[in-house]
Amino acid sequence: MICKNSLAILEGTLFLTDRRLVFVAGQELDEGEDIQKMLDEADALSIPLDQVVTASGNRGILRQSLNIVWHNPPDSPSTTKTEFLQKNRPRNVAEAKNAISEWVPQIEETAVSEVKTEQEEMVRSSPSWDQLDSKVLQALGDMKWKGFFQLERELEETYGASLDPDDLETSCKRLVKGKLIEQDKYGAFFKKLQIQAGSNSAG
């Protein structure tokens, strides 16, 4: 596998877990090697799926490829583009089904809604979602940029109920219009606005 970004071109192994993409630079994976240890290596490139903005695949004539645009760092509205190229073309149907270009639907699905536990799949009409606007403001109280999916996950974890993304989007739009929060130019990240208190001066 080849990893390309604005800083370097590296060869290594790419893994897709239920929460992240991990690229480990170096030789091909040896049989019996501790995969979890490789995933936890400090120099491994880890892309959390909830930071992914877009994912696209290419079934190229020469190589299968996977293009990821993601927020890095997570609390910043800026994005990073990383491209992965498969060195060898699939030799059979089984390998073709597991080609990196075929990972896109799984990445997108997880990025939009991470795998829910049974506890999180509670009835959406839970009273915890009354006054959603105030809950959003409270979640953004640290004055840091937060992505839409990060905000959704934090609210669900805090109040123990599933949230309709449409309700959250409506709430965010209402708060932006009311100049209580701001959003980045992509509309995917939000931050609470600092309220400036008025001051009087004597001459």
According to CATH, what is the number of the domain 2-112?
2.30.29.30
Please state which of the ranges 34-48, 84-98, 125-139 shows the lowest mean pLDDT.
125-139
Give yes or no for residue 129 having a pLDDT over 50: no
Q: For 41-179, where are the E strands, in sequence order?
A: 45-48, 52-59, 64-71, 79-85, 146-147
Residue 49 identity: L
Cross-strand partners of 24: 13
CB 46 within 8 A of CB 132: no
Topology of domain 127-192, CATH:
Arc Repressor Mutant, subunit A (1.10.10)
Averaged pLDDT for residues 186-201? 68
pLDDT band at 195; cut points 50, 70, 90: low
Q: How far is it, in rounded angstroms, from Cα 60 to Cα 168?
A: 38
CA atoms within 13 A on the CB side of 74: 12
Domain residues of the chain, as ranges?
Answer: 2-112, 127-192
More confident residue, 174 or 62: 174
Query: Count of CB atoms within 10 A of residue 125's CB?
Result: 9
